[in-house]
Amino acid sequence: MIQKRPQKRNTPRGRFRCTESPHVAVLVETSLQSGRDALFGIARFAREQRDKWSIYCEASGVRDSLPAWLKKWRGHGIIARVENREISEKFKRLGVPVVNILGDYHHEDIPHVLADNQSIGRLAAEHLIERGYRNFAFCGLKGIKWSESRYMSFLKRVKESGCGCPHFYAVPPYGRQPWYSISQSPWEAAEDMLAKWLKKLPRPVGLMVCSDLRGQFVIEACRRAGIMVPEQIAVIGADNDEPICELCNPPLSSVIPNHEQVGYQGAALLMRMMKGESLSSAMVVKVQPRGVSLRQSTDVLAMDDFAVADALRYIREYAIEGIGVQDVVSHVRMSRSVLQRKFRHGLNRSIYDEIMQVRITYAQRLLAESDLSIGLVAEKSGFGSQEYMTDVFRRKLGQPPARYRKSHRPY
């Protein structure tokens, strides 16, 4: 059940009897999609427990100080977004088990669950590379760890593809303002500065934005600068904040971080702590992203070579139907050796590699989002057999399909 306000309790902090419900405070910013998704995960875990949780949610989260009521609250555990050492020390002094979810700061004595920002950056880069881009850019936040982490992994993956360093634009820090504030300067002035940078980028270019909120800002700046999205600049965000993504014109493609699983895992850790288990003080759980939600902002192929672009379209449409390299060659009506050379030159991979990547991506989505058996996933993805798909997953992803499914499901 949900309490209107937290109540004082007679039992010691951090402990609960088997005959009573654990009283848990959740202090997460709910104006953001990440916070709302995490709450959904916490709720799902709570409903699965024999001892039903009594939850109080502080929708505004915690930034500079703890809520006054928390100092006298005699609950059993806290799930919060911890952003700095000052707040983490205040939580520790309460003497209640605390789990940090989504926060940018890791305290050595508080278990921490967050989205794997390195994987988010890498996944965005791969999405743009698969679309044939050879020029790249990144728009992020200066001094914000998760943004910088996404940038560094984006940069690394771009370099691995054989391309040069992406162009980088950083919005300066805001002092004590929350990161999602646009700027201390007027909206129009900030957009004009960003538009000037966007005009200087080589085209076509694939651009990652550190978050969907920034993505909307970038797409609007493109409109102001007369730049076509996605024809001249393809833009991908992160967090899959659906209202924000759909507010963009065109709608924004976005990496899906799986914040539901962050909340679920955070609640699971808190339950273990409330039962008296001692967790490693350095415990950090990083949750893998679920994939990319494709929308119009990246729904384009950046290829000057018509034959390669035509081959890519054909592969993306028919790869899961079991086509082979010769089918692609026949469709394009070009010699196999010439088309292979064009793929190597333009994409730095073979025709076969592209077919397999499309199948793997499709299988990953089915494993993460459906309850289909692994054998049926293999069949629908064009692998032909579960054994073959398992071998490909082990070679390409370093894990079998069953393990991938377990680590990428929302719960």
Cβ-Cβ contacts under 8 Å for 277 (sequence gap 6 or more): none
Q: Report which DSSP code applies to 190.
A: H
Question: What whole-number distance in Å separates Cα of residue 346 and Cα of residue 344?
Answer: 6
Question: What whole-number distance in Å separates Cα of residue 8 and Cα of residue 70?
Answer: 10
Across residues 109-136, what is the average pLDDT? 93
Across residues 270-280, what is the average pLDDT? 88
Cβ-Cβ contacts under 8 Å for 191 (sequence gap 6 or more): 217, 220, 221, 224
Q: Fold for domain 23-114+259-289?
A: Rossmann fold (3.40.50)
Q: Does residue 15 surpass a pLDDT of 60?
A: no
Q: Report which DSSP code applies to 385.
A: S
Q: Where are the domains of the chain?
A: 23-114+259-289, 117-257+292-298, 306-408
CB atoms within 10 A of CB 153: 20
Q: Fold for domain 117-257+292-298?
A: Rossmann fold (3.40.50)
Question: Is the CB of residue 202 less than 8 Å from the CB of residue 210?
Answer: no
Q: Report which DSSP code applies to 119.
A: H
Tokens 């077919």 sit on residue:
355
Integer angstrom CA distances of residue 17 from 51, 55, 96, 249: 10, 16, 15, 53
Provide DSSP, 90-114.
HHHHTTS-EEEES-S---TTS-EEE
Position 179 scores a pLDDT of: 46
Cβ-Cβ contacts under 8 Å for 410 (sequence gap 6 or more): 41, 258, 260, 261, 264, 290
The letter for the amino acid at 138 is: F
Question: Is the CB of residue 216 less than 8 Å from the CB of residue 187?
Answer: no
The CATH architecture that domain 306-408 belongs to is Orthogonal Bundle (1.10)
3-state class (DSSP) for residue 168: strand
Q: Does residue 9 surpass a pLDDT of 70?
A: no
Residue-wise pLDDT for 195-240, tens only, equals: 999 999 998 999 999 999 999 999 999 999 999 999 899 999 999 9
Cβ-Cβ contacts under 8 Å for 133 (sequence gap 6 or more): 204, 205, 206, 234, 302
Q: What pTM value is reported for the model?
A: 0.78
Question: Is the CB of residue 221 less than 8 Å from the CB of residue 198?
Answer: yes
Cis peptide before 204 (omega within 30 of 0): yes
The letter for the amino acid at 178 is: P
One fold for 23-114+259-289 and 117-257+292-298? yes
Binned at pLDDT 50, 70 and 90, residue 279 comes out as confident
HSE value, Cβ hemisphere, 13 Å, CA-based, for 274: 28
Q: Does residue 27 surpass a pLDDT of 90?
A: yes
